[in-house]
């Protein structure tokens, strides 16, 4: 019995690029349920089409990609936003991840990288153009290392271990093999880490960790 195709929405204000991405994803077996050219269209069509993965350019007419990402994740926490942007600026990458994006690819990515990225995003795995995952890890470790009213790092040792491997580009299955854990356990760790990255400050991160029982 074949798996149900992943439902995808493509958001980009350049028609030719948007159509090319749509063609590539359709050819790879995805179902493109909607496209949009700006933030307002994206939010309206997301609500109607309910895609599982949104392939999103950051530089779109207002609201921009970061704002759209935050609203999509707020509407449907199960939705996966994969940014596909011409910008590799650190501030753009961190802004997107903190808004709730599960991954960030630059537009120089190959068709194969895009198709693989959408598959991995649909499975809940972080997806980054090489080099950008290390940036996200470095920023998160910086936040975790900053002393703040005596609080400890919101990450457990195991989560730090998983996140380090994610930053090296390992898939959840590869991480599971290395740490001798189940695939589902690794995915749960990744989801907890991503959830924390979406928080706005250390107080929220720590509260989240305690609520999830990750402080023990």
Q: SS3 for 106?
A: strand
Residue 216 is predicted with a pLDDT of: 38
DSSP element (H, E) containing 64: none
Secondary structure (H, E, C), 108-142: CCCHHHHHHHHHHHHCCCCEECCCHHHHHHHHHHH
Residue 140 is predicted with a pLDDT of: 62
Residue 138 is predicted with a pLDDT of: 67
Q: What is the Cα–Cα distance from 206 to 186, expressed in whole angstroms?
A: 20
* Nearest Cα to Cα of residue 55 among 31, 90, 27, 91: 31
Q: What is the CATH number of domain 7-129?
A: 3.40.50.2300
Residue 213 is predicted with a pLDDT of: 44
Report domain extents, the chain.
7-129, 134-211
Q: Which two tokens stand for residue 152?
A: 């400890």
Q: Each residue's pLDDT tens digit in the chain (216 positions)?
A: 457 899 999 999 999 999 999 999 999 999 999 999 999 999 999 999 999 999 999 999 989 999 999 999 889 888 999 999 988 788 888 888 888 888 899 888 899 999 999 999 998 888 888 777 666 666 666 655 554 444 455 677 888 777 767 666 677 788 888 888 888 888 788 777 766 655 444 344 444 444 444 443
- Which residue has 């011409």 as its token pair? 86
Ordered alpha helix ranges (H), 5-156: 15-27, 39-49, 65-75, 90-99, 111-122, 132-145
Going from the C-alpha of 48 to that of each of 35, 44, 65, 147, 193, the distances in angstroms are 12, 7, 19, 44, 29
Domain 134-211 has CATH 1.10.10.10: yes
Residue 35 is predicted with a pLDDT of: 97
Please answer whether residues 92 and 85 qualify as being in contact, where contact means their C-beta atoms are separated by less than 8 angstroms: yes
Residue 128 is predicted with a pLDDT of: 84
Q: Could you tell me the pTM of the whole model?
A: 0.68
């Amino acid at each position: 019995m074949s798996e149900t195709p992943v439902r995808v929405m493509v958001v980009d204000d350049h028609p030719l690029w948007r159509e090319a991405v749509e063609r590539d994803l359709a050819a790879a077996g995805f179902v493109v349920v909607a496209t949009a050219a700006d933030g307002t269209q994206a939010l309206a069509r997301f609500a109607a089409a309910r895609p599982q993965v949104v392939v999103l350019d950051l530089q779109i007419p207002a609201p921009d990609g970061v704002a759209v990402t935050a609203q999509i994740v707020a509407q449907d926490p199960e939705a996966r936003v994969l940014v596909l942007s011409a910008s590799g600026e650190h501030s753009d990458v961190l802004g997107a991840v903190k808004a709730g994006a599960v991954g960030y690819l630059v537009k120089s990515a190959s068709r194969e990288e895009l198709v693989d990225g959408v598959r991995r995003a649909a499975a809940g795995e972080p997806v980054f153009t090489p080099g950008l995952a290390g940036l996200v890890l470095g920023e998160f470790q910086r936040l975790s290392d900053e002393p703040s009213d005596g609080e400890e790092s919101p990450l457990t040792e195991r989560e730090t271990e998983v996140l380090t491997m994610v930053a090296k580009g390992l898939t959840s299955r590869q991480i599971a093999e290395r740490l001798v854990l189940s695939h589902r356990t690794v995915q749960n760790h990744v989801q907890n880490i991503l959830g924390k990255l979406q928080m706005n400050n250390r107080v929220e991160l720590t509260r989240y960790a305690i609520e999830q029982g990750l402080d023990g």
